[in-house]
Structure 1
Amino acid sequence: MENTRDKLIDATFDEIYSHGYQGAPLTDILKKAGVHKGSMYHFFKNKKEMALAAIGEKMFEKFNERYSYVESYQIGILDEFYKRLRDLTARDFKRGCPIANIVQEMSNIDEDFNVLMKSIYEVFRENVKSILDKAIEIKELKPCDTTKLALFITSTLEGAILSAKATGDEQDYLDVIDEMIDYIQMKRG
């Protein structure tokens, strides 16, 4: 059974992802969670603290689900990575990328959000770098600067998601991903 804190975290993340931090009234979050304001104050001082916790926890959970397989693979890691990149069910193209949305809305106006989003984005890049490092280790990728390649991949992914959100066409995302995979494949040599 989901506890009150989990309900608050889930509702807060969903409302912020859907409407932005500034567009997600506390009353809507509490209503969605099915809890009273007093229950929120048991766990969090205010909406901002709850939002920072929700964003951090949910984003790290998503990364763990999406990239934790890397340590278990001894063969086919790039193929698995490509499969996950092409999985349209793993992304919400109507709402876009939660990282990009929050960075664009809040990083310039609130230092706490800025620090959190920088750390989340860094973890994202490190997850991708780990996949690339493992691919080199198991000889699926030629040695290369995996830090730069991870930056290229994460930046390309963000742009692909934004393109699909802007046009409403998931094929835009897939076309960009296919081009990116072709580029990585050239490095496989």
Structure 2
Amino acid sequence: MENNTRKNLIDSAFDEIYSKGYQGASLTTILKNAKVHKGSMYHFFENKKDMALVCIKEKIYERFVQRYSLILTLESGYLEAFIDGLKDTTKRDFNKGCPIANVVQEMSNIDEDFKVLMEEIYQTFRKNIKDILDIAIQKNEMKECDTTKLALYIASTIEGAILSAKATQNIQDYVDVIDILSSYIMSFKKS
């Protein structure tokens, strides 16, 4: 029961923050949607901010694990699997945008705890991409290159594509950018 209560709070807080931002998120709505009383929340978290930081960390890391870790378990086809994941528009919410970028833009310059957490999450995002590139090189599927810089370029391009689609409310903006990015990534593939 305790695990379900905590999970419900985490899920509800993430949904509310992702939809309305941290500052616009209503604790009342979070508790109502989680079907939890305020006292139960204080059993798990010190306050709204503590709950927000935990839910952001857990939910965004969960997405990374699902999205990137499986690629690293493959025997081959790392770049193709990575690109297939990027092209799968069902895994993203283009109306709300990227949860990482949203929180970075809203909170990083006004709260040190959010700034530190979001920097850690963003660095993990880049490291996940670098790990995929590194294993592709190690398995002789990709030409040698500076995978740190390439991972930064890829992460920045993905974030920009998501922001463009959010701004225009046109998924095709994301698709077009990812098509060009995919061609660039594949230019590193060994023939």
**C-alpha contact (below 8 Å) 1:70/1:130 kept by paired residues:** no
The whole-number CA distance in structure 2 between the counterparts of 1:171 and 1:138 is: 33
* 2:87 counterpart residue number: 86
Partner-residue secondary structure (3-state), 1:178: helix
Q: Identity across aligned pairs (percent)? A: 63
Amino acid corresponding to residue 77 of structure 1 in structure 2: Y
**C-alpha contact (below 8 Å) 1:97/1:161 kept by paired residues:** yes
The whole-number CA distance in structure 2 between the counterparts of 1:119 and 1:5 is: 23
The whole-number CA distance in structure 2 between the counterparts of 1:94 and 1:4 is: 28
Partner-residue secondary structure (3-state), 1:22: helix
**C-alpha contact (below 8 Å) 1:93/1:161 kept by paired residues:** yes
* 2:154 counterpart residue number: 153
* 1:29 counterpart residue number: 30
Unaligned 5+ segments in structure 1 are none
1:155, distance to aligned residue in structure 2 (A):
0.2
Following TM superposition, the consecutive aligned residue runs of length 4 or more in structure 1 with deviations greater than 3 angstroms are: none
**C-alpha contact (below 8 Å) 1:97/1:158 kept by paired residues:** yes
Q: Write the deviation string for residues 143-182 of structure 1: whole angstroms up to 9, x where unpaired.
A: 0000000000000000000000111111110100011111
The whole-number CA distance in structure 2 between the counterparts of 1:65 and 1:147 is: 22
Structure 1 stretch 71-80 or stretch 93-102: which is displaced more?
Answer: 71-80
Unaligned 5+ segments in structure 2 are none
* 1:138 counterpart residue number: 139
Partner-residue secondary structure (3-state), 2:29: helix
1:100 equivalenced with 2:101 (yes/no):
yes
Superposition pairs for residues 6-21 of structure 1, below 5 Å?
6-21=7-22
1:41, distance to aligned residue in structure 2 (A):
0.5
The whole-number CA distance in structure 2 between the counterparts of 1:147 and 1:88 is: 25
The whole-number CA distance in structure 2 between the counterparts of 1:13 and 1:173 is: 24
**C-alpha contact (below 8 Å) 2:53/2:117 kept by paired residues:** yes
Q: Write the deviation string for residues 68-122 of structure 1: whole angstroms up to 9, x where unpaired.
A: 1133222111111111000011000000000000000000000000000000001
Superposition pairs for residues 173-188 of structure 1, below 5 Å?
173-188=174-189
TM-score of the pair, normalised by structure 1: 0.97
1:10, distance to aligned residue in structure 2 (A):
0.3
1:39 equivalenced with 2:45 (yes/no):
no
TM-score of the pair, normalised by structure 2: 0.96
Amino acid corresponding to residue 102 of structure 2 in structure 1: N
